[in-house]
Each structure stands twice: as C-alpha cells, then as structure tokens.
Amino acid sequence: DIVMTQSPDSLAVSLGERATINCKSSQSLLYSSNNKNYLAWYQQKSGQPPKLLIYWASTRESGVPDRFSGSGSGTDFTLTISSLQAADVAVYYCRQYYGSPPTFGQGTKVEIK
Amino acid sequence: EVQLLESGGGLVQPGGSLRLSCTASGMTFSKNAMSWVRQGPGKGLEWVSTIVAGGDTTYYADSVKGRFTISRDNLKNSLYLQMNSLRAEDTAIYYCTKVAAGTWYYYIDAWGKGTTVTVSS
C-alpha cells in the first residue's frame, strides 16, 4: 500500500497569515503517460463530511477560494492557504488515487493562533 | 448540485449485518464510479469499497474483503453496501462518495453527509 504521511499533525496560524501543510507519499504519484499527479486534498470541518479542494495535485475545484493552492510532484506535495480565515479552521487530508488501495494521509488540524 | 443521501445505519451486535443505501441526485449516476469511505470515532478517513460505473467491477479494502459487498442499481440511482459479520472496529460514519469518472483511479468529488454504524453488544 502507498503510505501517505502528512506534516505537521496540527498547526496554529494567525488570521491573515500563511498555512502550509505537507504530504509525502511512499512512492511516486506521477503517472508518466499523462504527466498527472494522482493526489487530492480535502477539507473537513467539524461535524461535516469532507469537501474536495484540490485534485491532480494543483487543480482547484470549482468554487474553492483562490487562497487555497496545491503544489508538488512525485512524492512531495503541499497545500497552502495563503491568508488564513476563520472559516478555514478544519482538518485537511491528502489522498492518493494512483495505487490500490487508495489511501489518505492521517490529517492535519488547522487552528487559529 | 450533486446530493448523496445515505441511510441504513444503526446499532448492531457483533456478528450481525446491516445494509447501507445511498440515493444520488443531481448527477448522471450511471456514468460515475462510486465509493464508500468510513471514519471511525475521532479517527481519519478510510476507503472501504468502490464499484465502477457499469457495476461489473468492485474493489475492497483488505479489512472488509469477504464480509462487505458493494452493489448499485443504475436505474434507481442507488448505491448499496451489504455488511456482514460486523466487528467493533467497523464502528464508523460511512460516507457515500462520487468518483469523478467511471473508473476508480480518480478523485472523489462529492460526499454524502454520512450514516453512523455502531457495532456493540
């Protein structure tokens, strides 16, 4: 199985500041035939189901604020919230859909400092 | 807007069975693979099972293989999960999810609100 490891497990950021979450996979998620990284990011607010933010590692889902961005390739990926808002308090998960079974990172909790 | 509505959760004794259902709207159900994802109390997300758009191929996590069966009825826009031989570790919120393509090597782009399964004596 592909192991997804997120860091940090939690972080506290001041309103308006940048939040950065890392996700590392145990093998490359880059499919050479289409040059796509099979990596998505999800946001889960308390008591709610997860919501898709980013897919193909860097494509923002329709309706997601542009302060959310994804980057990286191969085995190392990053979700960046450029200016943290109160509405962004949540747990964030990365998920790979390259290998079987698809696997999630353990989650990163983002709070306001 | 895609809506996925799960039902069928509840309290069941170890060794018992439950059948979860998910009714989809706002999408062309027959064109998308569908998955079940679960989340144990205070825990992270765990993929459980996927069925491709045509319903002819299914995939399972090792933790549920041989005990759970995923199926779909494209005429009824419905997804199912038959859960047998339930264990305490199956206790979780079960989410019905839509895969963004007909095959399973794609991202999940929609989630239901979930249905809670509790396995306890």
The string of pLDDT tens digits covering residues B16-62 is: 999 999 999 999 999 999 999 999 999 999 999 999 999 999 999 99
Number of CB pairs, chain A paired with chain B, less than 8 A apart: 53
Calculate mean pLDDT across residues A61-74: 98
pLDDT number for residue A15 = 98
β A10-13/A108-112 pair status:
parallel
Q: What average pLDDT does the structure give for chain B?
A: 97
Beta-carbon separation of A52 and B106 below 8 A: no
Residue B86 has pLDDT above 90, yes or no: yes
* 3 state SS of A87: helix
Beta bridge partners of A81: A19, A68
Phi, then psi, of A52 in degrees rounded to 5: -70, 130
Query: Percent of chain A, pLDDT > 70?
Result: 100
Residue B8's pLDDT band (boundaries 50, 70, 90)? very high
Task: Please enumerate residues of B whose Cβ is less than 8 A from a Cβ of A.
Answer: 44-47, 50, 59, 61-62, 95, 100, 104-114
Q: Which residue has the tokens 């943290």?
A: A84
pLDDT number for residue B104 = 85
Q: Which helix (H) or strand (E) holds B59?
A: strand B58-60
Q: What average pLDDT does the structure give for chain A?
A: 97
Q: How far, in Å, CA of A94 to CA of B77, rounded?
A: 29
Beta-carbon separation of A95 and B107 below 8 A: yes
Residue of chain B minimizing CA distance to A99: B105
Partner residue opposite B44 with nearest CB, options A40, A52, A93:
A93
Phi, then psi, of A87 in degrees rounded to 5: -70, -10
Calculate mean pLDDT across residues A81-105: 97
Query: Percent of chain B, pLDDT > 70?
Result: 100
Q: What does B62-101 look like in DSSP terms, one character per residue?
A: TTTTTTEEEEEETTTTEEEEEE-S--GGG-EEEEEEEESS
Express each pLDDT in A1-50 by its tens digit.
999 999 999 999 999 999 999 999 999 999 999 999 999 999 999 999 99
Q: How far, in Å, CA of B19 to CA of A90, rounded?
A: 31
Residue of chain B minimizing CA distance to A59: B107
Q: How far, in Å, CA of B88 to CA of B65, rounded?
A: 16
pLDDT number for residue B72 = 98
